[in-house]
Chains A and B, each alone.
Chain A
């Protein structure tokens, strides 16, 4: 029965995503108001601290606050920079890494509430017959650096500069002010405060206007493009920094002659990582990969693409899984006919 409910990795991931959407958006309401202080406060996903019901906080808000209040303030006061300044930063990164170590970038592909919302919107777009806009190999490279700029500028540089007094204090947590997850998750709790633009100062207003416009863009774009915000998300680049330090990996065979003509995995990748089809070995695990596992699900050959943990195969591509997957949904995410709540009994074997 379990196999009929969860016949594919995609179905397992979808169930995890929905569960984590409830934990990250409504966790405080479900598990107790004070849960937010007790899990990690450094989650490697966009679980928003502005959401009054969230079960945990995202690492990025912690980073911005620590850089703003600890590092920036101490630097400008020209006091002795002691370990006490950096210990809280090290603790928050350490706690983050304790989570990240086990799941790696699965936090993006399986846990992040904004990732789930975008995927749900994309599914809606398929049902509404909207087109799929993809980045071609020749232009995807133009977007990829933006996530690093977002990390350097909004998560690292501006909070430190705000702490030093170089820029105004409103730029102490600039990423949070433009993050679509802040608006999306608070709206999911019927809280309209965050979609209301702050008007107290010009900088607040500008950040708010930019954040709202980006949120609006993402909501509509997600109907016709896969994971539009994920591509520029600083959490993607932050997680990419630690990607090689986790035993959870995407692994592709060093060489496989059929890959050149196939390319189904490229079509299945929601992040338009064309390298998954053209590269082999370690290079196939790209910095933009969110470990969603779709490439492995849609690879028609046995064990060419695998998700491994400490070298043990958790999931590997197979002909049978491929056949089942394409019966339910095309590699691009177009559903085939009606929704399967239970896999057909005949494909259970």
Chain B
């Protein structure tokens, strides 16, 4: 136990040296690094107004602005024509609980609200007997943000796909995970309803809702191994590569056909670039290191024997 502290500190000192070498970067290379890593604006570049990977209507959120306090998000409709974006804030009692964001060339601008939290954003195209709806959730992580469950559950359109729940802060949809969604029409759950999934990596799948209108969606593990990986040393909150998915369902009622789609990004499999066997191995190594502590000392045994005698 005497040298316990030394053995704890020493690896960290070695690690700093290793890290500085691996980083090999200075303040000058900072901007380059940032684009490969944590620049949200850079992450959203290059998205057009037509989503080539799906025909379903989708919304794309593009963040802009260097300053975190004034960061804005442009909501761009894809495969859908809409005059504005409907935005619901998670604080339903707020005067901005519901807003209509006008569309311009760059999309509809959503400024960061003071109360932060989750926003539900929808575009609606109503043409004769066809209604098409695209929805996404946009989150501004803020301390003390209200629980968005009531906002998610508030009826916004006739046909809806609602996350149950949506990934909270520090989480996201990831490949090979199961997530639940509620499918409902006019506020009533739809059982036996088919929900289609398409991903920007080319996956397609079909799911059916249960008696409660809940559909369990398996996020496809479809990232190709040969795709370029982020630069070593980049910081991206462990999100690594991302792709887009859309869930869509169609329902006919009263001579009208409704199609609603909910889209989101998703990340790689949780165990991608992780090694469980090695993790268990190092844990075992640590356990072995502590094993001598479990041995009874001879003096202690002798004193116990003496007590017993």
Closest Cβ–Cβ distance, residue A56 to chain B (whole Å): 11
Does B289 make an interface contact (CB < 8 A)?
yes
- Which residues of chain B are near A195, meaning CB under 8 Å? 276, 279-280, 283
A interface majority secondary structure? helix
- Which residues of chain B are near A150, meaning CB under 8 Å? 8
Interface segment, one of A200-208, A257-265, A306-314, A319-327: A200-208
Partner of B15, one of A162, A192, A210: A210
Residues 127 to 164 of chain A near chain B (Cβ within 8 Å): 130-131, 133, 135, 139, 142-143, 145-146, 149-150, 153-154, 158, 162, 164
Per-residue A-contact encoding for B134-167, CB less than 8 Å = 1, 0 else: 0000000111111111000000000000000100
Does A23 make an interface contact (CB < 8 A)?
no
Known: A131-B300, A206-B15. A220 touches B293 (CB 8 A): yes
Partner of B289, one of A135, A183, A217: A217
Indicate the member of B5, B147, B285, B297 with the most A CB atoms within 10 Å.
B5
Is the beta-carbon distance between B38 and A169 smaller than 8 angstroms? yes
Indicate the member of B18, B168, B293 with the most A CB atoms within 10 Å.
B293
Interface size grouping (class) on chain B: 35 or more
In the bound complex, how far is the Cα of B78 from the Cα of A255, in angstroms?
Answer: 77
Is the beta-carbon distance between B22 and A212 smaller than 8 angstroms? no
Identify the closest chain B residue to A146 (Cβ).
B5
In the bound complex, how far is the Cα of B279 from the Cα of A199, in angstroms?
Answer: 10
User: Interface size (A, Cβ < 8 Å)?
Assistant: 79
Interface segment, one of A36-44, A101-109, A275-283, A296-304: A36-44
Is the beta-carbon distance between A207 and B15 smaller than 8 angstroms? yes
In the bound complex, how far is the Cα of B145 from the Cα of A340, in angstroms?
Answer: 44
- Which residues of chain A are near B38, meaning CB under 8 Å? 69, 169
Interface segment, one of B27-35, B186-194, B254-262: B27-35
Partner of B146, one of A38, A212, A223: A38
- Which residues of chain B are near A125, meaning CB under 8 Å? 294
Identify the closest chain A residue to B2 (Cβ).
A139
**Can you list 18 A-B contacts (CB < 8 A)?**
A35-B147, A37-B144, A37-B147, A41-B143, A131-B295, A142-B2, A143-B1, A167-B16, A169-B33, A171-B16, A193-B274, A197-B275, A203-B233, A212-B280, A217-B290, A220-B291, A220-B293, A223-B294
Known: A201-B232, A206-B18, A224-B293. 20 other contacts (CB 8 A): A34-B118, A34-B148, A37-B144, A125-B294, A131-B293, A165-B23, A166-B20, A168-B22, A169-B234, A183-B283, A197-B282, A198-B274, A200-B229, A200-B240, A210-B12, A216-B287, A217-B290, A219-B283, A224-B290, A225-B293
Interface residues of A (CB under 8 A from B): 28, 32-38, 40-42, 49-50, 52, 68-69, 76-77, 84, 91-92, 95, 125, 130-131, 133, 135, 139, 142-143, 145-146, 149-150, 153-154, 158, 162, 164-172, 174, 183, 192-193, 195-203, 206-210, 212-221, 223-225, 232
